[in-house]
Amino acid sequence: MGVRWIASAAHAGPGAILLWGLAALFFLIPLAVAVTALTLRQPETGGMYLWARTDYGPWHGFLCFWIYWMGTAFWFPGAAMFYMSAAGFGGSRGSLVVASLAAIWIALGTNIVGVRIGKWTENLGAIASWILGILLGSAAILVWQKQGPATEFHLLPSLDWNTVSFWASIAYGMTGFEVAGMMGGEIRDPVRVLPRAAWYSAVFSVLFYAGCTAALLVILRPEQISDLDGLGQAGETVGRILGASWLAPVIAVLVLCSAVGNFGGLGSSASRMPFAAGVDGLLPAAFGRVHPKWQTPWLAITAIGVVASGLLVVIQLGDTARAAYQTVISLMVISGFLPYVYVFGSAWKAGKRLSAVSGWAVSALAILCSLVPSGDIHNVWVFELKLAVGTAAVVGSGYLVYRRAAAAK
């Protein structure tokens, strides 16, 4: 779970609360069923790379890994921009970028040292997220009692082309269970652990996301909520209403802790795929080696940090910070959901037909929604061109790397 999707969902309106439940029902649970079946079939390090390679061949396994890994690289700058802006580093664009780079490398650095150390940054992030959720819920109850809700709640989502792109963020918020498969070789007793974790994930994700979205909408109207710094806006608003000036800085600290946990968790797990590809000789052999002291795929973790840092700087060119954020979110969604074509294809072959159909449908809908520009995009053609070029670059670079590795064998 990540607190960054709460503001995007709230900006889309109260209908987002229903969308959280639907996303869990039609995507998170099918994904968990698929990942559990495939991890039990191949309890090794590598996850979707191994599944696609086994079912569709080496090229498809590499392409699945490459697109997902690049999607993770797009995830980092978008997440960094959100978290640092919400934590109060968004005063200037330069300070936002510097703070984002620092958070990325602190989180990845602890996981290079090892999961025994790095897990504490992930635990810190998880605890901070839940404290933030409880704090927002409590503040919303007090605001409701004092002056009533700021938003009139309704069940069905409204079709507003300025907010449709945020539906993709809601679907993306329910992804992530696949990382368990990437570390399949490091899970103790996966037969018992994974099915239980799947249902816990579904129930608590809906409670967390829907509850926090509702809390934001009690405090602010949807059009007042920025998808980039909506949590900070909520803290300041509650502070004025309740006379709690301490709330905004507390939210900022909790957001910062949540950021470090998210960076470390995804960075360390996603690094297991280039590690597996390095072992197979599809990447330089150094990717397939572990650190002699810490026993971690340190080069794979470092590589994703370097790529993410570069994207964070490049994506700032030629547009406002908010437009750059929306662009990187859309690229992240496209690159993030394309590999699920392979994941649910493998699930289909494993006999999980209903999960496969549901997962494919939600993936296609999320990609389509990500192509719709939000109200922050003033030059639609530049936005769509960036998405086309970025997606082509992801697939094309994967083809070139694979072709070179195959020729060298």
Instruction: Say whether pLDDT at 56 is over 90.
Output: yes
Q: How many CA atoms lie within 13 A of 408 on its CB side?
A: 12
* Mean pLDDT value across residues 262-276: 68
- Please tell me what DSSP assigns to residue 14: T
Of the pLDDT bands very low, low, confident and very high (cuts 50, 70, 90), residue 139 is: very high
Q: Which has more pLDDT, 68 or 275?
A: 68
* CATH superfamily, domain at 6-408: Amino acid/polyamine transporter I (1.20.1740.10)
Spatial CA neighbour of 12 closest among 208, 203, 216 = 216
Across the chain, mean pLDDT equals 82
10 Å CB burial of residue 97 (0-12, 13-18, 19+) is: buried
* Mean pLDDT value across residues 83-96: 67
Window from 54-63, 112-121, 213-222 with minimum mean pLDDT: 112-121
**111 near 261, Cβ under 8 Å?**
no
Of the pLDDT bands very low, low, confident and very high (cuts 50, 70, 90), residue 83 is: confident
Window from 117-121, 288-292, 294-298 with minimum mean pLDDT: 117-121
Query: Model's pTM, two decimal places?
Result: 0.80
Instruction: Say whether pLDDT at 87 is over 70.
Output: no
- pLDDT in the model for residue 219: 95
Spatial CA neighbour of 108 closest among 328, 270, 252, 256 = 270
* Mean pLDDT value across residues 38-43: 84
- Please tell me what DSSP assigns to residue 224: G
Spatial CA neighbour of 115 closest among 58, 164, 185 = 185
Tokens of 297: 């795929």
Q: Which has more pLDDT, 88 or 346?
A: 346
* Mean pLDDT value across residues 285-305: 76
- pLDDT in the model for residue 207: 92
Instruction: Say whether pLDDT at 51 is over 80.
Output: yes
- CA 149 vs CA 139, 152, 218, 224, 245: distances in Å: 12, 7, 4, 14, 20
